[in-house]
Amino acid sequence: MKFFIDTANLKEIQEAHDMGVLDGVTTNPSLMAKEGIFGHDNVMAHYKQICEIVDGDISAEVIATDYENIIREGEALAELHPNIVVKVPMIREGVKAIKYFSDRGIKTNCTLVFTAGQALLAAKAGATYVSPFVGRLDDIATDGMALIEQIVTIYGNYGYQTQVLAASVRHVMHLLQCAEVGADVVTCPLSVITGLLKHPLTDSGLEKFLSDHAKGNQ
């Protein structure tokens, strides 16, 4: 499973990278705004900074919702760096754009996916990644993890190469469940990745080892 970090915060991206387990980054307009990054030139410059830290796929989202402008924005993003993946919404015009990008070797991430049917359309259009949102489905009393499993099964049935990128992953159990059902990628906050480190028996065991060592080496 690949680990992506879902943020535009350079410090958090660097920290995840320095752990040696980071495979990529996903961003969106909300995450950019959270970091106070506004304006076309500032956003594009920020993407370049992210690409300088991480040698992996970086999802950069278009703002347009019509075909022509999705293409225009997506091509501009793809020109920034070879690792840029154009993030496109799951709408009719987005699916058409994904096909256009796929035919030209531009990587895409189809976002805001909430059904297996949407994921099937994205795969048929040639999306590199599809992003089903686990947590947002859980928020409305729908089983987000069941959707991940369903998409993995459908893709396996027909040999689609589109990677299942589980998004809106909010805690360690989400991440582990995604791994169990076969998601190719999980994107999450840094806190979820570092949460994998934690167990009280690890902490108490290390404390005892260090205490015993100190007693014997006074």
Instruction: List residues with catalytic annotation.
Output: 87
Which of these, 131, 133, 135, 134, lies nearest to 162 by C-alpha position? 131
Token pair belonging to 198: 């934690």
How do 108-113 and 185-188 pair as beta strands?
unpaired
The Cα 172–Cα 35 span in angstroms is 24
Do the Cβ atoms of 4 and 186 come closer than 8 Å?
Answer: yes
What element of type H or E holds 137? helix 134-139
Q: Alpha-carbon distance 148 to 178, whole Å?
A: 7
Q: Which of 92, 63, 31, 203 is nearest to 211 (CA)?
A: 203
Which residue is it, tokens 């998601």?
A: 183
d(CA 204, CA 124): 51
Q: Which of 123, 117, 199, 119 is nearest to 167 (CA)?
A: 119
Helix H or strand E encompassing 79: none
